[in-house]
C-alpha cells in the first residue's frame, strides 16, 4: 500500500515533550509541594519535541535503544501519560498492548479481565459477548480463562492481552514489544492477524527490537534516541541506521600505519577501493565502520569460474574478500550475509561461529579470506553483505568495515517452485 492511499491521518503529534521530575530524597517531594519557587528535583526529558503522523491503514515500526523514549511515546498516544508539552491528536478507537500485564487485575480471572477491558474500551455487554468466542479461540487458554491471571505465565498473559486487544474493533492498534514473549507459533498467528487488521484499514504502531519484523511488516519506520526523533523513512533505511547506531565504535582509533601499494605482491592497489570495479558491485551499498581495516577488494567464483553475479540454483559460490589493516586489531570477526531484495536476511555466518581464522592482525597486513556457499536459492535478486568487526563484551561486536548489500546476485528463473529456499521437493503418488 503506497503512502498516497493513506487518508486521513489517525495520529498527529506536534512537538511532543515529556519531562519527569527526579527527587534525590523522598522529603524533597514534600518540600516541593510547599516551596514552589525553588526546584528540589532534577529534570529528565524523556521526549524532546517529537513530530509524527500516522495515516489510516499504515503500519509504523519504532526502533531505538533502551531508554530512548519509545514506551513513553506510546503511553502518551494511548492517553496513559500526559505530555509536558506539544499536541497529540488521535482519531478512532485505540487498542493497546503495552508492558506485560498492563491493565490487568491480578486477582481477577482472565475472563473477568477481558470483560473489564472491553468495558473500558466502550464495548457494550452484547458486543463483548459477540466477540467472546473469537477471544476464547484466539488465546487458546481453555480452562485457564477462569483462573486468576496472577497464576499465568508471561506467555499466557500475552495470549490473553493480544486476543482482547485485536477484538476491540480498533482503528489504531499499539503494541509495545509484547510479542517478543511467547512461543513462535503464537507469534506467527499474531502476525497473520495483524496482516488482516492492516488490510481492513487498521493503523498499527509497534515498538520492537526485531529488525526483521520491521522489514517484513512495516510500511515505514522511525528511530528514537535519547528522546529525539533521529530518523524516519523506509524500513530498510531506518533499520540500517539503527544497526549502525547499535554497533558503532566507541574505541579510541589510533594513528594508521604508513602504507604503500608497492609493498604488496597483488594485482590490485590495496590502498584503493577495488570493489566498485566489479561487475556485481551494487552502487547502493551501505558502508560504515571505524575504518581500522578496509575491505579493499572482492571476487566471486561460480563453480570455480569468475562471474558478474548472474548465477544459477545449486551453484557453488566462492566469495573472496581482501582486507587491508591500517592499525593493529584484536578479537577479529569476518562475516557474510545473504539477503533478499527487501533486506530480510536468509543466511549468515562468520568466523566467530566457524572459528577457523586468526583473530589478530597488525597494521599494514593484507589478508584474503573466502566463504564457500551452495546456492540453494530460487529465482530472484539477492544481495551479499561482507564485514569486518571486533568482538565486544557489551555490544556483541563493533563495526570496523561493514559493506551491506555490496554484491548483487541474480539467480536465473525457475518454474517448479516459489519462495527463496531451493529445498528440491519431489512429488510421488504412493498407491
Rounded-to-integer distance, Cα 127 and Cα 344, Å: 40
Report residue 220 as a C-alpha cell: 515505514
Rounded-to-integer distance, Cα 229 and Cα 50, Å: 6
The pLDDT assigned to 4 comes to 44
Q: What is the dihedral of CA 272, 277, 280, 282, to 10 degrees?
A: 70
The pLDDT assigned to 101 comes to 57
What pLDDT, in 10s, does the model give residues 136-194? 888 888 888 899 988 888 788 888 888 888 888 889 998 887 666 667 778 888 888 88
CATH of span 271-411: 2.70.50.60
3-class SS of residue 52: strand
All residue ranges of the chain with pLDDT < 70 are 1-7, 99-103, 178-182, 250-254
The domain made up of 3-245 has a fold known as Rossmann fold (3.40.50)
CB 70 within 8 A of CB 176: yes
What pLDDT, in 10s, does the model give residues 148-161? 988 888 788 888 88
Match 503529534 to its residue by C-alpha cell: 13
The structure's pTM equals 0.76
Residue in 413, 348, 353, 351 with CA at minimum distance from that of residue 381: 413
Domain with CATH 3.40.50.300 in the chain: 3-245
The pLDDT assigned to 252 comes to 65
Element (H, E) at 25: none
Domain with CATH 2.70.50.60 in the chain: 271-411
Q: Which residues of 323-342 are buried (b: 16+ CB within 10 A; e: fewer)?
A: bbbbbebeebbbbbbbbbee
Amino acid at each position: 500500500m503506497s503512502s498516497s492511499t493513506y487518508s486521513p491521518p489517525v495520529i498527529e503529534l506536534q512537538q511532543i515533550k515529556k519531562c519527569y521530575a527526579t527527587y534525590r530524597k523522598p522529603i524533597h517531594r514534600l518540600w516541593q509541594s510547599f516551596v514552589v519557587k525553588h526546584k528540589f528535583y532534577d529534570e529528565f526529558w524523556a521526549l524532546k519535541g517529537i513530530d509524527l503522523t500516522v495515516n489510516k491503514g499504515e503500519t509504523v515500526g519504532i526502533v531505538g535503544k533502551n531508554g530512548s523514549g519509545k514506551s513513553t511515546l506510546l503511553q502518551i498516544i494511548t492517553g496513559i501519560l500526559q505530555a509536558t508539552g506539544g499536541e497529540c491528536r488521535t482519531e478512532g478507537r485505540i487498542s493497546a498492548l503495552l508492558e506485560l500485564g498492563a491493565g490487568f487485575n491480578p486477582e481477577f480471572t482472565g475472563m473477568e479481565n477481558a470483560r473489564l477491558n472491553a468495558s473500558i474500551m466502550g464495548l457494550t455487554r452484547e458486543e463483548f459477548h459477540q466477540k467472546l468466542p473469537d477471544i476464547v479461540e484466539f488465546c487458546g487458554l481453555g480452562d485457564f480463562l477462569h483462573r486468576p491471571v496472577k497464576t499465568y505465565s508471561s506467555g499466557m498473559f500475552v495470549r490473553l492481552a493480544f486476543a482482547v486487544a485485536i477484538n476491540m474493533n480498533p482503528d489504531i492498534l499499539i503494541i509495545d514489544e509484547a510479542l517478543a514473549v511467547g512461543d513462535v507459533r503464537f507469534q506467527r498467528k499474531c502476525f497473520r492477524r495483524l496482516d488482516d487488521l492492516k488490510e481492513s484499514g487498521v493503523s498499527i504502531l509497534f515498538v520492537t527490537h526485531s529488525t526483521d519484523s520491521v522489514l517484513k511488516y512495516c510500511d515505514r519506520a522511525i528511530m528514537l534516541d535519547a528522546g529525539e526523533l533521529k530518523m524516519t523513512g523506509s524500513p530498510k533505511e531506518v533499520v540500517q541506521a539503527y544497526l549502525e547506531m547499535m554497533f558503532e565504535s566507541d574505541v579510541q582509533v589510533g594513528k594508521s600505519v604508513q602504507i604503500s601499494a608497492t609493498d604488496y605482491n597483488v594485482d590490485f592497489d590495496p590502498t584503493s577501493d577495488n570493489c566498485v570495479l566489479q561487475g556485481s558491485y551494487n552502487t547502493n551499498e551501505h558502508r560504515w565502520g571505524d575504518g581500522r581495516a578496509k575491505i579493499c577488494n572482492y571476487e566471486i567464483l561460480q563453480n570455480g569460474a569468475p562471474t558478474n553475479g548472474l548465477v544459477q540454483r545449486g551453484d557453488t559460490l566462492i566469495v573472496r574478500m581482501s582486507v587491508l589493516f591500517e592499525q593493529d586489531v584484536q578479537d577479529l570477526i569476518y562475516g557474510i550475509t545473504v539477503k533478499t531484495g527487501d533486506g530480510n536476511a536468509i543466511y549468515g555466518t562468520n568466523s566467530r561461529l566457524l572459528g577457523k581464522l586468526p583473530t589478530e592482525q597488525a597494521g599494514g597486513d593484507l589478508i584474503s579470506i573466502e566463504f564457500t556457499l551452495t546456492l540453494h536459492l530460487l529465482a530472484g535478486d539477492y544481495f551479499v553483505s561482507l564485514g569486518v568487526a571486533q568482538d565486544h563484551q557489551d555490544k556483541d561486536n563493533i563495526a570496523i568495515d561493514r559493506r551491506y548489500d555490496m554484491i548483487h546476485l541474480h539467480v536465473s528463473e525457475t518454474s517448479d517452485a516459489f519462495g527463496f529456499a531451493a529445498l528440491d521437493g519431489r512429488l510421488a503418488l504412493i498407491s
